[in-house]
Amino acid sequence: MIHKISIEDIDVSGQKVFLRADFNVPLDQGKVRDDARIKAVLPTIDNLLGRGARLVLASHLGRPKGQPKEELKMDPVATRLTELLGRTVIKLDQVVGPVVNKAVADMKNGDLLLLENLRFEKGEESNEKAFAGKLAEPVDLFVNDAFGTAHRAHASTVGIASYIPAVAGLLMKKEIEELSRSIENPLRPLTVILGGAKVSDKINVMRHFLQLADYLLVGGGMANTFLAARGYDLGDSFYEKDMVEEAAKIIGESEKSSCRLVLPVDLVVTRELKPGSSFKTLEPEKIKHSWKAVDIGVKTVESFGECILNSAMIVWNGPLGVFEISPFDQGTMFTALKVAESEAYSVVGGGDLVAALEFLNLADDINFISTGGGATLEFWEGKELPGITVLQDKT
């Protein structure tokens, strides 16, 4: 278990705190469309303000690549934060410099302000030392609550920790505890469900869980690559041709491990990937040319369900079909219902899957939903995340 000092372990009264949050939220016509990431940081914000900290909030938004862009300014985030907190959030048009330094110096206990988009500055993503120093200049303490960026060595996640003490926020602490539990001390039997399009994105996660899990269920486009490795001709289905050999190795490794690898036994296929298009459900060997596999079938859902109901813990990343297009969302939906109905402790990560669960109103039935995408996968791989490494260790 990773043990890091958090804000709960220190006195923050009167401290000028730089809180790195993940407010990288979707916008629609200048308004926040989904505020889940903002809400996830509220407990840390409330805790710090309630204990008399002077709070400087900072985040990135989108990918401006070091250039200011009007449509990626933090103003919509400030507006939504004001609504959620019930108090005015002062938003600055700068990230570093004299204006920021003076605004922070004038703050009183319990005050907060929001900086402009960190990625408007070229030194952010390159982790430029001088820029990190400017971020740290007006503040006393660095609190990282942006787990979703913990796998990135940027100035606001890593570089700033060279200048001031760095500790975890409440969300970061929870992420570390929950994800550590799922790979270090999981409840048994442990079932891991992996979906999404590409095997190449999750090959290391699969190998890690092959040595840890009792069941490994594979769906989505990545399952097609495994079925191709087993010799099936999947017609016009998407699969990664350059990963077939690697998938075959994984199948071989699973046969030597104590983990049972479960692949689809039937697939929903269609000729046209669009809403309302005709479809049918076939076994892999019956898929003909011009048909493409886009979801797992009923028999596969039942097979997955047997493993799920036999589980004490479930880890899930990635949808099991083309969830965005109905009716190819059924495999994900019915599997999610089985996870929600089970008595197993469930941990879910990945933006696409989380969006699916929220759409189905099942998010509240999951025990823990990680706010990370790539960070969650790298954590499950067993990688060291730079945004966590720089936080002070408990001794």
Asked if 238 and 269 touch (Cβ cutoff 8 Å), the reply is no
Catalytic annotation on 37? yes
For residue 222, the one-letter residue type is: M
Catalytic annotation on 373? no
Catalytic residue among 305, 351, 372, 373: 351
**Residue 267, SS3?**
strand
Quote the tokens at residue 355.
């969006």
Catalytic residue among 4, 20, 37, 91: 37
Quote the tokens at residue 258.
């104590």
DSSP per-residue string spanning 134-185: HHHTT-SEEEE--GGGTTS--TTTTGGGGTS-EEE-HHHHHHHHHHHHHHHS
Catalytic annotation on 30? no
**Residue 3, SS3?**
coil
Quote the tokens at residue 387.
């945004």
Catalytic residue among 198, 260, 286, 299: 198
Catalytic residue among 52, 62, 110, 374: 374
CA distance 245 to 223: 14
Distances (CA, A) of 337 to 53, 340, 362: 42, 5, 8
Quote the tokens at residue 72.
């990626």
Q: Which distant-in-sequence residues (6+ apart) come within 8 Å of 374 by Cβ?
A: 151
Please give the sequence-ordered ranges of beta strands (E in DSSP) within the chain, or none if there are none. Answer: 16-20, 27-28, 31-32, 54-58, 90-91, 112-114, 141-144, 166-168, 190-194, 215-218, 260-262, 267-270, 279-282, 292-296, 313-317, 345-349, 368-369
Q: Which distant-in-sequence residues (6+ apart) come within 8 Å of 94 by Cβ?
A: 100, 115, 116
Question: CB 5: neighbour CB atoms within 10 A?
Answer: 17
Catalytic annotation on 351? yes
Q: Catalytic residue positions? A: 37, 198, 351, 374
